[in-house]
Amino acid sequence: MYPNLSFPRGRAAVRSSVGLVIGRGIRLAVAIAVSCAVSASALAAPVVGNPQAGQTVFKLCASCHQVGPRARAGFGPQLTGIIGRKAGSTSDYHYSDAMQKSGIVWSEAQLAAFIRAPDHVVPGTRMRFWGISDEQKIADLLAYLKASAQ
């Protein structure tokens, strides 16, 4: 019926057709899993921060930073009122050129990104910190920083 077509025969035919089906199946499964993960994270409720828990998280920061009415710069700048403040703008700390030239105004989202990975947000920053990956801890820390500014 189709004289010009040739098909693999025997074990080669089984291996190639099974491999092709399995390969497509795995790719499809991975694509579906990634799609579901992205959809689930997009639909997840936003993380709400707890200032009391944030005070505990701030202990990771307290060796370099201070907050509150008497806060002053030490090894790092004081963080009182940081949300809404231009990066590198307090007069009592000598910032890196990278931070001063970043042009960042610290929103909650920008600060959360910086807390996750300081070197990715401001390459060349002096802040030597690996970052926090736990979204709840980041939300708690931001809630604490907001509360300490009042």
Whether residue 9 sits in one domain with residue 38: yes
Instruction: Give mean pLDDT, residues 129-145.
Output: 97
Cα angle, residue 13 at apex, residues 8 and 15 outer, rounded to 5°: 140
Whether residue 93 sits in one domain with residue 112: yes
Instruction: Give mean pLDDT, residues 7-29.
Output: 54
Q: What is the pLDDT of residue 46?
A: 82
Q: What is the pLDDT of residue 150?
A: 80
Which residues fall within 8 angstroms of residue 127, CB to CB, at 6 or more apart? 64, 76, 118
pTM of whole model > 0.85?
Answer: no
> Domain end: 44, 62, 79, which one?
44
Report whether 109 contacts 100 (CB < 8 A).
no
Give 145 or 128, the one with higher predicted confidence.
145
Tally of domains in the chain: 2
Give the CATH number for residue 90: 1.10.760.10
Whether residue 71 sits in one domain with residue 36: no
pLDDT(36) > 70: no
Q: Which domain holds residue 108?
A: 51-148
**92-113: pLDDT as tens digits:** 999 999 999 999 999 999 999 9
**48-93: pLDDT as tens digits:** 999 999 999 999 999 999 999 999 999 999 999 999 999 999 999 9
